[in-house]
Chains A and B, each alone.
Chain A
Amino acid sequence: MATQDVLQSIVHFSQLDKLVELCRANSLWPMTFGLACCAIEMMATGASRFDLARFGAEVFRPSPRQSDVMIVTGTINKKMAPAVQTLYDQMPEPKWVIAMGNCAISGGPFVFEGQYNVVEGASKLFPVDVFIPGCPPRPEALIEGILLLEEKMTGTRRWPRVVVDPMPRQPLPPEDEEQGEPATETKAEAS
């Protein structure tokens, strides 16, 4: 664990430790806070189509004292950075951080010469466990990030990994038809 460095005990119980890690992985309570547009995708993840609740991770706790994972959703301004840092410090161990979106990974589109107001990545402030690329990432990507975090904690993956195909192209509807049906999404595209 990158961010878990306080609660290292001298005595280890292998099976009990595994059980505790399994329980922690299955009840990751995120903190209720969003910084920018990625937060909208985080809310969509909790809503009915994607349903983060399936993994027991829908309990968005408003207080940092009761949350386990901090999802940094969006741009961290230099003005906002102390507040985010305080929230991270207030979380009790063990705690994890997910950096969601390009801004939280590296500053995203705000990195240019003479840039003066954006922190270039959440990892400049505190250790980050999972990075989720995208601008903004889709809700499936956030779910995949949470599954990755669970894999990092327990060492096993919940479901077999989806093999990423090259994105199959949909044939365009013929132009002569007046009412061409829109191309339907395939499963490979959705994943």
Chain B
Amino acid sequence: MTIDSELLRLLLYVVGFIAFIATNAAYLVWLERKEAGHIQCRIGPKEVGPFGLLQPVADGLKLMTKQLIIPKGADSFLFRLGPVLVMTPAVMCFVTIPYSDTIVARNLDVGLLAIFAFASVNVLGLLLGAWGSRNKYAVISAARVVSQNVAYEIPMLIVIVTMVMVTGTMNLHEVVTSQNGGFWHWNIFRFSASPLMPVAFLIYFVCMLAETNRAPFDMAEAESELVAGAFTEYPGMGFGVFFMGEYANIVVGTSMATILFLGGWNCPFGLWPGLHWFLIKMYALIFTVIWIRWTFPRTTFYSLLNLSWKVLIPVAFANLILTSALLKVL
């Protein structure tokens, strides 16, 4: 009996990516707590294992053994579906992300489209979970999350359309190979396509923060106003899965920023490209995301929407028009 090598390869990718996501979700929490500690002149977790490295294990086991309460009158099906709908699309996104020249599960020609299609399902999970938990704070928070995500998906997708026009492909592998060479070939510095490329990167980054519900845009969990936002009624691992989904979404968002703007697995000086460069760039971006969270206070809801509709969308459109004009002329 021979094992189908293609099937084996895909199985290995599934196991590998799920392990990657779970490890990241656990240890990004550790990184977040440690980084928060050092930003606030504290030490952070240090007693549980060396450097507090066993903290995520303790937290995970504790969350799993906590009593699972489904509130009276809640829609138990939607209540259970919510965390799954946040986690699953985040895992699905990893199918087409190329981590190096050879590490990619499925090199789809519409990879870019597939990822942003899956990424927008995550809002639905939050909405259904919050609606199903029959809690007024959760429902208010869910309404906020939906309007926030609608507002921030538009500038993000306009930037994506610009990138597709510049690189001429939706295949993520080709997007990276079009940026081969030193850092002056990367899309963030491709001034021949548009002088506004660094601005496009900034718009993408801000929208990515908002899409993953990170501070200063964490309207999903506005704990000073809405108890715990959409997660108010979730005890134990339900809440844990929501948070793993959030961290998986951050990994997806920063991976996409790396691929689209920072040259994927290319070295800044054109030497030894490979997986390590991808991971270095990705974790630097993740570090920045956490840094921003512990530096800025949460915005108000109106300034959040104003930023999107009055600043980001016009600038993104201007960039789109400028890029298309330059592509036509040059």
Report which A residues bind B (CB closer than 8 A).
6-7, 19-20, 22-24, 26-27, 32, 47-48, 51, 53-56, 58-59, 61-63, 65-66, 68, 92-94, 158
Contact = CB atoms under 8 A, between A and B. Distances in A.
Most A CB contacts (10 A, CB to CB) among B44, B60, B228, B233 go to B228
A23 B223 contact: no
Contact of B235 (A55, A59, A66, A158): A66
A51 B37 contact: yes
Interface of B: 33, 37, 40-48, 52, 54-55, 57-62, 65-69, 223, 227-228, 231-236, 239
Nearest to B48: A26
Contacts of B235: 65-66, 92
- Specify the main secondary structure of chain A where it touches its partner: loop
B47 to A, nearest CB: 5
B24 to A, nearest CB: 19
B47 A23 contact: no
B52 A65 contact: no
B69 A92 contact: yes
A93 B47 contact: no
A32 B40 CA distance: 19
A62 to B, nearest CB: 4
Contacts of B48: 26-27, 55-56
A27 B52 CA distance: 11
Contact of A27 (B43, B44, B58, B69): B58
Contacts of A66: 228, 231, 234-236, 239
Contact of A58 (B33, B54, B61, B68): B33
Nearest to B30: A56
Nearest to B233: A65
Given A26-B55, A61-B228, A63-B231, A54 B43 contact: yes
Contacts of A65: 69, 228, 232-235, 239
Nearest to A93: B67
Nearest to A95: B67
A47 B42 CA distance: 7
Given A24-B61, A26-B62, 17 more contacts: A23-B61, A24-B65, A26-B48, A26-B54, A26-B55, A48-B41, A51-B44, A53-B42, A53-B44, A54-B46, A63-B232, A65-B233, A65-B235, A66-B231, A92-B67, A92-B68, A94-B66
B81 to A, nearest CB: 18
A66 B227 CA distance: 11
Contacts of A20: 61-62, 65
B228 A62 contact: yes
Nearest to B226: A62
Contacts of A22: 58
A62 B226 CA distance: 9
A32 B223 contact: yes
Contacts of B231: 63, 66
